[in-house]
Amino acid sequence: MFKKVLVANRGEIALRIIRACKELNIPTVAIHSEADAITLYVKKADESCLVGPGPVAGYLNIYRIIDLAKQRGVDAIHPGYGFLAENPEFAEACEENGITFIGPSSGAIRGMGDKIFARQLVRKAGVPIVPGIEHSISSLKEAEEIASEIGYPIMLKASAGGGGRGLRLCRTPEDLKRTFEMACSEARKAFGKDDVYIEKYIESPRHIEFQILADKYGNIVHLGERDCSIQRRHQKLIEVAPSPFLDPDLRKRMGDAAIAAAKTVGYTNAGTVEFLVDKNRDFYFLEMNTRVQVEHTITEEITGIDIVKEMIRIAEGEKLSFTQEEIEISGAAIECRINAEDPRNNFLPTTGRITAYYSPGGFGVRIDGNVYRGYVVPSYYDSMLAKLTVWGRTWDEVVSRTARSLDEFVIRGVKTTIPFYRQIMRDEYFRRGEFNTHYIEERFDDLIYEDEMDRLDMVFAIATAITAHSYR
Ligand code: MV4
């Protein structure tokens, strides 16, 4: 077992990793900015240290983190997600300093981080990829020739991109003319290299990803899929597992493909293989994420497997303690990302002090969060306050339990996405499992809702009126 783990992250994922270490009796070191000094995850760690005065830079400072790890006698680092989690230089720096990086090798991170290279690798392994090219484009002329061969609509993608970054949809040759140079310059600015490639645009796909676990002895399994189609501008909002769209045969074929894709880079530890699934139920490899994901919780709920503890065990050289046949999917789970954003104002992030915080509970309800009454939501970190993860024995039960949990969830002082999700839980298309990546834009107009004054608001309003009246 590791002597001590440094958690190179903040917020809810830092707390999640600290909890897993506590259960494994591994002492932890938290790092924090000045703004994060008084937070839950820092309080729960065995040790903590200032990684930098500013809000973000310290969490990205590879050599500062390595130095702190060495000072504190740390023998492993967990990167979480975001920040340095998919930075091959950070994984390399750990390897070079004799510190175990709790994640894949730097080579696997680098390989899957180059989307063109990843497409070449997985196609050779027989995994279906989105029709398109497997080399970067050198000129608009070449792009036009390729696009006319593939057929519009096409998608321009930055090879170093990922998530929703470096994507351009072109429905006509004019679109391509207008956006090609911009796409190259954006890629150069954002990722340091302007390699872009072209794919056929898959209309109205579902975004379905498979969780992979692989140990250092060649054992590799998948833990089923997560349907992440409910996104807004490439920001996932609600994720569900298993996907209501997959049947057992499609699930088997996609799971086998996910494992084959991971094997192309000799993958070890936890990772996620993303696919697009079109309305004909054809699936295509999109990309592989070499980190634990925000939405890993719904996979944990339907399999009973603690993914973060498995990451630590694999990094320590343990063999997987289960085979594919022993992994059972039980029930269904939904994760709602509770963000400090105003759904009625273009989801703009909101900041301020949380004046009331009551999280839901009961059978099958889980909260992963790092906020509380009195917490001041800053503007410089991502807007996620907490993750509500709900399990149910059936799809209908998990939807109604999620609706009940959202009704119970009270956060005051900042606008949040809670009222928006409450509408989605009542939406007939969502309840029937009928949603793809266009769900929000197609259904959101129908989801306009009035700010519901709930009972607690009513109490505050009446109490305020009585107080004001009694002082007249
Ligand atoms: C696509 C696509 C359709 N066709 N590629 C790439 C990054 C991932 N997070 C989203 N990506 C997509 N790539 C081709 N060839 C659809 C998506 C996609 C998406 C695109 C636009 C708006 C929302 C989306 C949500 C999920 C997937």
Beta-carbon contacts of residue 319 (< 8 Å; ≥ 6 apart): 215, 217, 219
| Closest C-alpha to 211, from 115, 117, 303 | 303
Among protein residues, the one whose CA lies closest to atom 25 of ligand 1:
437
Which pLDDT does position 164 carry in this prediction? 75
Q: Is the CB of 202 under 6 A from ligand 1?
A: yes
Q: What CATH number has the domain spanning 131-200?
A: 3.30.1490.20
Q: Is the CB of 437 under 6 A from ligand 1?
A: yes
> Distance from the CA of 235 to the center of ligand 1, in angstroms?
11
408 exposed, middle or buried (CB, 10 Å; 0-12, 13-18, 19+)?
middle
Q: Is the CB of 169 under 6 A from ligand 1?
A: no
Dist. CA 217–CA 271, nearest whole Å:
16
Dist. CA 344–CA 448, nearest whole Å:
8
Dist. CA 411–CA 418, nearest whole Å:
9
> Directed axis angle between helix 296-303 and helix 307-315, to 10°?
100
Which pLDDT does position 472 carry in this prediction? 66
Q: Is the CB of 438 under 6 A from ligand 1?
A: no
Among protein residues, the one whose CA lies closest to atom 3 of ligand 1:
202
Cβ neighbours, 10 Å, residue 427: 17
Choosing from 291, 337, 366, 443, the catalytic residue is 291
User: How confident is the prediction along the chain (472 residues), in pLDDT tens digits per residue?
Assistant: 999 999 999 999 999 999 999 999 999 999 999 999 999 999 999 999 999 989 999 999 999 999 999 999 999 999 999 999 999 999 999 999 999 999 999 999 999 999 999 999 999 999 999 999 889 998 999 999 999 999 999 999 988 887 777 889 999 999 999 999 988 888 888 888 888 999 999 999 999 999 999 999 999 999 999 999 999 988 999 999 999 999 999 999 999 999 999 999 999 999 999 999 999 999 999 999 999 999 999 999 999 999 999 999 999 999 999 999 999 999 999 999 999 999 989 999 999 999 999 999 999 999 999 899 999 999 999 999 999 999 999 999 999 999 999 999 999 999 999 999 999 999 999 999 999 999 999 987 665 555 555 556 666 667 767 777 777 6
CB 333 within 8 A of CB 240: yes
Q: Is the CB of 231 under 6 A from ligand 1?
A: yes
Task: Provide the H-helix boundaries in 372-427.
Answer: 395-408, 418-426
Which pLDDT does position 461 carry in this prediction? 65
227 exposed, middle or buried (CB, 10 Å; 0-12, 13-18, 19+)?
buried
Spans of all domains in the chain: 5-102, 131-200, 206-447
Which pLDDT does position 35 carry in this prediction? 94
Whole-model pTM: value is 0.94
Q: Is 291 a catalytic residue?
A: yes
Among protein residues, the one whose CA lies closest to atom 27 of ligand 1:
207
> Distance from the CA of 207 to the center of ligand 1, in angstroms?
8
What phi and psi values does residue 362 have, to the nearest 5 degrees?
100, 180
Q: What CATH number has the domain spanning 5-102?
A: 3.40.50.20
- Looking at domain 206-447, its CATH class is alpha beta
Instruction: Out of 231, 238, 280, 436, give the residue to mutate to test ligand 1, the one with the largest number of ligand atoms within 8 Å of its CB.
Output: 231
Where is 353: in which H helix or E strand?
Answer: strand 352-353
